[in-house]
Chain A
Amino acid sequence: METSSSYLSFVIEHLQQFFSYTAFANITIGHVIMIAIGLFFIFLAITKEYEPLLLVPIGFGILIGNIPFKPGFQIGVYETGSVFNYLYFGVLQGVYPPLIFLGIGAMTDFSALISNPKLLLIGAAAQLGIFGAYAIALMLGFSPTEAGAIGIIGGADGPTAIFLSSKLAPDLLGAIAISAYSYMALVPVIQPPIMRLLTTDKERVIRMKPPRAVSKNEKIMFPIIGLLLTTFIVPSALSLLGMLFFGNLLKESTVTKRLADTAKGPLIDIVTILIGLTVGASTQATTFLTYKSVGIFVLGAFSFVIATFGGVMFVKIINLFLKEGNKMNPLIGNAGVSAVPDSARVSQFVGLEYDKTNHLLMHAMGPNVAGVIGSAVAAGILLGFLS
């Protein structure tokens, strides 16, 4: 009798021990909230098709990162030796973002920019969002390094945001990455009202000259000269700009088609999966759900608004100095943020609302890819000043 009761207590004790390992025993309200956010991301990606290539991995990563568990079994992304910790290394050390830039370079056509170099300046103006958000973050009490990492959300460039925050404010990396990608997905929602607010009916129907044909030599020289000029000024952006221009040279040289195809195909897909999943998994409720994260989300929205404002207003100002016939449509100003090609698509759609035959997509791609360069340069400046 005594043996059977001790056996029973042994079984119960181990059942209790097993229960203590389960997610049910370790769940908190924070985990529930984060799982709900992850599900919402997946919902947005699948049903609304908002940036599905990013939001599906991130959303699922949030689910993975917020399965409650008892620490000490090398499970979580922050536990040394766990699989997710190994994968997260690429985020923490800034390995993945340059690889993504390599792919972006290999799939980007800079022709629009080369044919009309003025558009480069719009890409610079839209970086106002970064420094506007930086200033507001400082006022809200964030440290300069944190403010720099938060400000880069305004560049609308996920890899750059991850790269910079991993260097300047690793603690905020999850919140910054989620915020950057969320707002990038919401570009079609955030930008059009600001664009309409800042432009007149007359400005919205400005027709721009069709871009001229760009020679192969020009396309080949662009990444080489682009790299030399930008990185000599901001060497701290070398890993991003170096990979971006290298990827573009692979594409434009036309003799390394296989390498370009790999960079813009399997490689960028693999890295996107890894970066999305691990960034999502890094949003463990215990580290993610803080007032700072809320602040980052609010500032992220501000930075997108300021960036759009900067781009559109810059075109309007430039137009004051341009002759009739050479003027630019201010609706391409929003594309100075580097959410490629979403913000250029927004220019196209908003432009078509006012003139069904005025296609702005090609013109908007210029500032759009200039924004990628601009935000990488801005990240390099922040890194150089603040680290």
Chain B
Amino acid sequence: MRSIRILFSLSFLAAFCLIAMPRAAAQSGNDIRINEILVINDSNYIDDFGQRNAWIELFNTAYNKVDVGGMYLTNDPNNPTKYRIPKGDPITSIPARNYLIFFADNHTTRGILHLNFDLKDSDYLALYDMNGRTLIDEVRFPKLEVDKSYGRVTDGGSEWEVLHKTTPKSNNFTGEPRNPGLEFKEFDPFGIGMALIAMTVVFLALILLYLVFKNTRSFYGIKFSDLFKQKAVSGVKVEAQPDLTGEVNAAIALSLYLFRNELHDNEATVLTIKKVARTYSPWSSKIYGLRNFHK
């Protein structure tokens, strides 16, 4: 029965962890998203050479720097390794929650941010991991008007649309950003809602702890090592000791302390002599000291 209870508790904990796991995100190349695409650039973003070309914006959704060097960009679903982003260039490191623009102009001589394809006849774009096989992100985009971009409604979000404003190297969402503090001020000017919500959460957290520790006292009392020991065969039935109260424990501890305290050999400046037992060891033996010569 006891073992079943333990197994049940452990499986509950494991299930709890498994449920939570998919939500945990690692911070790696998987955090990069294709964020915005502009195909026909007439009066839009200019590259370092003063040219206007189609551009692709990548967004790092992670909260740490991610290097996209070695990854692949392609506009051909059958050729995932069409353009390999060169490794070892600091420009390919995208800071946390930041952007990197590539120019789809088929002019690789203009630097590593200029791709070996353009988007004139494309409706597809994909980003592959360094192995050239693992798809990180892909998008099929509609035919776009001049200077119109297709992008995620919010950076890194799942919803795409033709954006009202092109936003190279900046937030796709151009409205007023959500400010939780101001929202609380607007909807909860006296802090009553906050007090209710927060006190509920504090109580919930501590009630959970309370329930766990109220009901699992017997669980903690188990000596796990005993579970794996073979049960001794004995005809004598031993009655379980009831739990000792703290006061009894304190009394035992005090008496032990006093007993041990009386063992010392120096009290109230009266020097006493106490025999100290020394176990024999050849390492500390004076018989075999180096200064003793063989006779």
Contact = CB atoms under 8 A, between A and B. Distances in A.
A132 interface: yes
B189 A138 contact: yes
A125 B195 CA distance: 12
Given A121-B206, A144-B181, A229-B212, A221 B220 contact: yes
A370 B206 contact: yes
Interface residues of B, number: 44
A138 B43 CA distance: 48
A215 B224 CA distance: 12
B206 A218 contact: no
Contact of A217 (B13, B192, B212, B223): B223
B145 to A, nearest CB: 40
B222 A217 contact: yes
Q: Label chain B's interface by main secondary structure.
A: helix
Nearest to B186: A144
Given A128-B199, A226-B209, A233-B205, A387 B243 contact: no
A222 interface: yes
B213 A117 contact: yes
Interface string A335-367: 000000000000000000000000000100000
A215 B13 CA distance: 21
A228 to B, nearest CB: 7
Given A213-B244, A386-B180, A387-B180, A138 B185 contact: yes
Contact of B205 (A130, A147, A230): A230
Given A218-B220, A386-B181, A132 B195 contact: yes
A159 B197 CA distance: 24
Contacts of A386: 180-181, 184
A124 B204 CA distance: 9
Interface stretch (B56-64, B96-104, B117-125, B245-253): B245-253
A168 B234 CA distance: 65
B257 interface: no
A144 B185 contact: yes
A374 B204 CA distance: 10
A370 B205 CA distance: 11
Nearest to B198: A381
Interface string A148-176: 00000000000000000000000000000
A135 interface: yes
A212 B206 contact: no
Given A135-B192, A138-B185, A118 B210 contact: yes
Interface residues of A, number: 52
Nearest to B245: A210
Contact of B206 (A123, A210, A232): A123
B194 interface: yes
B205 A212 contact: no
B169 to A, nearest CB: 25
Contacts of A144: 180-182, 184-185
Contact of A210 (B195, B223, B247): B247
B238 interface: no
A117 B209 contact: yes
Interface string B63-106: 00000000000000000000000000000000000000000000
Interface of A: 113-115, 117-118, 120-121, 123-125, 127-128, 130-132, 134-135, 137-139, 143-145, 147, 210-213, 215, 217-218, 221-222, 225-226, 228-230, 232-234, 362, 370, 373-374, 377-378, 381-382, 385-387
11 contacts: A120-B210, A131-B195, A143-B185, A144-B185, A145-B181, A147-B191, A212-B243, A233-B201, A233-B208, A373-B206, A386-B180
Question: Which 3 A-B residue pairs are closest in the complex by CB-CB distance?
Answer: A135-B191, A131-B195, A218-B220
